[in-house]
């Protein structure tokens, strides 16, 4: 059906999905309480490195001499640490495992615990839907002498295909284990498939999310004009001076259940997912890495129709918001095609202004931010916004960039 023909579903006929647990580690935040404290306080958790630290991390002097080299990256602490014994690994075995998989396994265990479930005593099937980012650790393993003598365990330890099945094996989960790889949309695509798996009866509970930890950890980037990466290490989403974002590390997981089951089981319900949607632009865009207005508008309208939601009832949108001169106007044009309402009635924010672009973990990090905002009844500020991008006509839609902490009423 075309956008104009979509009829919102009746809320009475929709089986929604409950978020009953969450866990995550983000730049400047080893846990979700710290993450929320940073968000509401407007903390920009993007550190800058000195040349000495970068040299020690292996950055060549010729790279450091490049005037375009930006010494910033939003990293998480302790990626080299892992409680191997807790998960039944020996130290040599643990060394073969990609840090992304180690951290994700720890967070998966924490997420289930926070949801109040011991998988050994849960009768239902628990699925895992998630993905990780480009794996630099695998290259280290392949070039290491241990690989020649222990190739298969090394490939299993560092291969991205084994992210979700490792969690299912170590936590004794018997639902689907689906590794999703769709670049920076990975974790939200994982959430979408987890919701479908629950609604289709493939599982009774699901872990969904993503992880992104680049190896080597300490790095900057070379700015290229017109590219996605910022020239000064700051992300200015929707601003006139927006010229890109910063790479970042993070891991986020949500625990999902059919709402009716969550209510019947007395679970803590942090938020409810009324509907999700997914599509692709096809060839209808100016380039492979550029989004299209029509594709984004269609999937937003489809999500609203699936959820039975009228756009005028939405008071906050957590945007992709990369802070690029091309991407921001396209995203806002698509949003304004779907959202109706008086100017200034819907707040807009972008987590990337706080922690950079978390790649495979970006979507679930924004979802967790929004859930925490709902729970606390506050909308945190979107940072580094002073004057609108002139290519965005904010007057033609309901949106306003939220630049200060305010009550969510």
- Give whole-number Cα distances, 27 to 48, 86, 358, in Å: 12, 25, 9
Catalytic one of 107, 184, 235, 346: 184
Does residue 193 carry a catalytic annotation? no
State CA 204 to chain mean position distance.
23
Instruction: Give the tokens for residue 12.
Output: 């009475």
Give, as one character, the DSSP assignment of residue 287. Answer: S
User: How many other C-beta atoms lie within 10 A of the C-beta of residue 186?
Assistant: 27
State CA 84 to chain mean position distance.
26
Rounded Cα distance between 279 and 294, Å, is 11
Strands 399-401 and 406-407: unpaired
Does residue 184 carry a catalytic annotation? yes
Which phi and psi (to 5°) does residue 201 adopt? 85, 15
Give, as one character, the DSSP assignment of residue 8. Answer: P
Instruction: Give the tokens for residue 47.
Output: 């550190």
Residue 77: half-sphere exposure toward Cβ, Cα within 13 Å = 6
Rounded Cα distance between 329 and 312, Å, is 21
Burial class from Cβ neighbours inside 10 Å (0-12, 13-18, 19+) for residue 269 reads middle
Does residue 357 carry a catalytic annotation? yes
Strands 346-349 and 316-318: parallel
- The angle formed by the CA atoms of residues 236, 41 and 246, to the nearest 5 degrees, is 30
Nearest partner of 190 among 261, 129, 136, judged by Cα:
129
Strand partners, 211: 132, 251
Catalytic one of 192, 249, 270, 357: 357
Rounded Cα distance between 50 and 71, Å, is 7
Rounded Cα distance between 222 and 67, Å, is 9
Catalytic one of 235, 249, 320, 346: 320
Residues annotated as catalytic are 184, 320, 357
């Amino acid at each position: 059906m075309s956008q104009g023909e979509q009829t919102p579903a009746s809320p009475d006929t929709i089986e929604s999905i409950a978020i009953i647990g969450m866990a995550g580690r983000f730049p400047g935040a080893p846990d979700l309480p710290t993450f929320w404290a940073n968000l509401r306080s407007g903390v920009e958790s993007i550190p800058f490195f000195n040349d000495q630290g970068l040299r020690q991390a292996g950055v060549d002097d010729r790279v450091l001499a490049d005037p375009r080299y930006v010494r910033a990256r939003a990293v998480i602490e302790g990626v080299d640490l892992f409680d191997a014994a807790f998960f039944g690994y020996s130290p040599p075995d643990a060394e073969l495992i990609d840090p992304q998989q180690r951290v994700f396994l720890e967070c998966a265990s924490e997420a289930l615990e926070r949801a109040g479930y011991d998988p050994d005593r849960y009768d239902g099937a628990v699925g895992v839907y998630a993905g990780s980012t480009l794996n630099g650790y695998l290259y280290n393993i392949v070039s290491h002498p241990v690989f020649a003598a222990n190739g298969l365990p090394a490939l299993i330890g560092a291969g991205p295909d084994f992210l979700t099945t490792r969690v299912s094996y170590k936590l004794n989960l018997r639902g689907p284990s689906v590794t999703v790889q769709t670049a920076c949309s990975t974790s939200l695509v994982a959430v979408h498939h987890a919701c479908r798996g629950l609604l289709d009866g493939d599982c009774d509970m699901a872990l969904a999310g993503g992880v992104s930890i680049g190896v080597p950890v300490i790095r900057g980037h070379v700015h290229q004009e017109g590219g996605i990466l910022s020239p000064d290490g700051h992300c200015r989403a929707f601003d006139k001076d927006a010229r890109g974002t910063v790479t970042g590390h993070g891991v986020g997981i949500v625990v999902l259940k059919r709402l009716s089951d969550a209510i019947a089981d007395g679970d803590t319900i942090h938020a409810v997912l009324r509907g999700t949607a997914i599509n692709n632009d096809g060839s209808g865009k100016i380039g492979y890495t550029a989004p299209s207005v029509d594709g984004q508008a269609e999937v937003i309208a489809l999500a609203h129709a699936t959820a039975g939601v009228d756009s005028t009832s939405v008071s906050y949108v957590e945007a992709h918001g990369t802070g690029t001169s091309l991407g921001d106007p396209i995203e806002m044009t698509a949003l304004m095609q779907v959202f109706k309402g008086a100017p200034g009635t819907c707040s807009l924010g972008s987590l990337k202004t706080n922690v950079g672009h978390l790649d495979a973990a970006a979507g679930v990090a924004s979802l967790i931010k929004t859930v925490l905002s709902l729970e606390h009844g506050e909308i945190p500020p979107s940072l580094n916004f002073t004057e609108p991008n002139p290519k965005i006509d904010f007057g033609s839609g309901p949106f306003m960039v939220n630049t200060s902490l305010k009550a969510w009423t």
